[in-house]
A and B are shown apart, each in its own frame.
Chain A
Amino acid sequence: MDESKMYLCRCENVTLADLHKILDAGVTSMEEVKRYTRCTKGPCQGRTCKELIAKEMARYLHVPIESIDIPKDRAPIKPIPMGEIAKGDQ
């Protein structure tokens, strides 16, 4: 089984092997995993990978999934051009 071909985050090309490497180095926070890998920051904004990564972290670290610090959702929840906001609400 080749973990480097098993993708958790397709937008940012983060594989199971990448995640395990980071966790093996002692990282326990998903916010930190995000900063190392950019996972959840691609076009899908984590809609596909967020739960997959949290689940795998919980399994690998032997902790309940509720204890994983899933990155906070912030507005705007989808990427939009800055110009649209700058233009204002007519």
Chain B
Amino acid sequence: MLFSDLVVIGGGPAGMSAALAAAGHGIKVTLLERMESLGGQLVKQTHRFFGSESEYAGTRGIRIADILREKVESNRLIDCRRGSTALGIYEDGVVTFEEGTQYKKVNMDRLVVATGASEKMLVFEGNDLPGVYGAGAVQTLMNLYGVLPGRKVLMVGAGNIGLIVTYQLLQAGVRVAAIVDAADHIGGYLVHASKVRRCGVPVLLGTTIRAALGTTEVEGAVIQKLDSHFHPIPGTEQRLDVDTVCLSVGLSPLTELLRLAGCKMRYIPALGGFVPVHNSYMQTSRSDIFVAGDASCVEEASSAMMEGAIAGLSAAISLHVPSAGILEQRERRIRELAALRAGDVGAKIRNGLAVMAD
């Protein structure tokens, strides 16, 4: 059995930021990361970030992962355990995890859950055919392993991930036949949308995928227009010659650990679906468990890093370790996070969090 003041589950942007924030105030941290290297989703984000300068705006995601990884790995207060998957949380503060082929336990006083999110699936005819991918999987294949997912792609979803992955597909020499989105507006930043449109990729709004065609793999796709109630309009079906369907229809927070720990959950679609109820200190309904990043509400890496810092500082504060300026530091991070969400793009998150606070 290991002992740790604070266990952080997840070594992505949120988890690494939480570990660093707490260790910065003398807290001993155990960081559990499922993969063999730290970085989470940052390791495949080859594009430059927007957002706040304090959170590396203008820097590519992969480089941000390097910066954080280096800080975490050189910090002597952080026991960084890669290839370690958390399995359970128990009433007495024990967290179980699998490390390699060994079953291990760590006893903690405080916990930060930064497990990220999983990709949402869409229900349509042929949605189990090989060639139907999540956008995250396509990014992993291309940007991490250098493998092309296909030759001609239909992208479903015009949010930031759909737009960015479309551009990355084009960069890799893959043809993108179209981007379809059921909504009547583009969900992602218009600067990303303009970029792919200039490359000749049509963004078809009020349109959805009806079927992936083929018997053993995707050999085509049928798209169809929707009316204002999202009902398909008969006679508007169109067949596209594609061999890959890429789904970018949102993410769901990975919350099974929080659920089994008894944290209160709520269904708030604006935040990604079922989310753990938490306050502005990132504290869940269980006072010893904090949450950060996409596991708390699906947003982006910049906010995940800020939430991680807030969660790490809150965990440290709740351990009553006297440390100069820690309360002010947390207040500053909370203000920065609010500023990041202040614009039009942040409205959805602001509304969702207002529902949660009710």
Report the 5 A-B pairs with minimum CB-CB distance, sorted nearest first. A75-B88, A76-B87, A73-B256, A84-B103, A7-B128
Shortest CB distance B271–A (Å) = 13
Cβ contacts A49-79/B at 8 Å (1 or 0 each): 1011000100000000110001011111110
- For chain B, the bracket of interface size reads 35 or more
Q: Is the CB of A80 within 8 A of B103?
A: yes
Which residues does A use to contact B, with CB under 8 Å?
Answer: 1-2, 5-8, 10, 13, 16, 45, 47-49, 51-52, 56, 65-66, 70, 72-78, 80-81, 84-85, 87-90
A76-B88, A77-B87 known; A89+B121 contact, CB < 8 A: no
> Which residues of chain A have C-beta atoms less than 8 A from B119's C-beta?
48
Is the C-beta of B24 less than 8 angstroms from some C-beta in chain A? no
Q: A1-B210, A48-B118, A89-B1 are in contact. Are A78 and B103 (CB under 8 A)?
A: no
Q: Is the CB of A1 within 8 A of B259?
A: no
B232 to chain A: closest residue by CB: A1
B124/A77 in contact, CB under 8 A: no
Chain A residue with the shortest CB-CB distance to B100: A84
Query: Are B127's CB and A7's CB within 8 A?
Result: yes
14 CB contacts below 8 A, A to B, read A1-B210, A2-B125, A7-B128, A13-B128, A45-B256, A66-B266, A77-B260, A81-B101, A84-B98, A84-B103, A85-B103, A88-B103, A89-B103, A89-B105
**B29 an interface residue at 8 Å Cβ cutoff?**
no
Which of A16, A51, A75, A87 is close to B96, meaning CB atoms less than 8 Å apart? A75
List A contacts of B123 (CB < 8 A). Answer: 6-8, 16, 52, 56
Tell me the minimal C-beta distance from B237 to chain A in angstroms. 11
Chain A's closest residue to B274 (CB) is A51
Q: Which residue of A lies closest to B34 (CB)?
A: A78
Pairwise interchain contact B254-A47, C-beta atoms closer than 8 A: yes
CA distance A70 to B103 in the complex (A): 28
Cβ–Cβ contact B87 & A78, under 8 A: yes
- For B88, what are the chain A residues with a Cβ–Cβ distance below 8 Å? 75-77
Residue in A2, A8, A76, A87 whose Cβ sees the most chain B Cβ within 10 Å:
A76
Residue of B nearest to A45 (CB): B256
Interchain CA distance A13-B127 in the complex, whole Å: 11
Chain B 96-123 interface 0/1 with A at a Cβ cutoff of 8 Å (1 = within): 1010011111000000000000111101
**How far does the alpha carbon of A1 sit from the alpha carbon of B237 in the complex, in Å?**
12
Contact B87 A80 (CB under 8 A): yes
B window 17-69: CB within 8 A of A: none
- The closest CB in chain A to the CB of B212 belongs to A5
Provide the residues of chain B in CB contact with A65, threshold 8 Å: 267
Task: List B contacts of A87 (CB < 8 A).
Answer: 102-103
Task: Show the binding face of B for A, using Cβ within 8 Å.
Answer: 1, 85-90, 96, 98, 101-105, 118-121, 123-128, 210-211, 252, 254, 256-257, 259-260, 266-267, 273-274
Using A48-B121, A51-B273, A89-B1 as known contacts, say yes or no to A6 and B127 having CB atoms under 8 A apart.
yes
- Please give the distance in Å from A33's CB to the nearest CB on chain B: 15
* Bound: A1/B231 CA distance, A: 13
Please state if B96 and A78 are interface contacts (CB–CB under 8 Å). Answer: no
Smallest CB gap from A53: residue in B: B123
CA gap between A47 and B260 in the complex, in Å: 14
- Tell me if B254 and A90 are in contact (CB < 8 A): no
- A75 near B128 (CB under 8 angstroms)? no
Determine the chain B residues whose CB is within 8 A of the CB of A1 once the complex forms: 125, 210
Q: A7-B128, A48-B121, A84-B98 are in contact. Are A77 and B273 (CB under 8 A)?
A: no
Decide if B101 touches A84 in the complex (CB within 8 Å): yes
With contact pairs A65-B267, A89-B103 given, residues A51 and B252 touching in the complex (Cβ less than 8 Å): yes
A10 adjacent to B257 (CB under 8 Å)? no
Contacts of A48 in B (CB 8 A): 118-119, 121
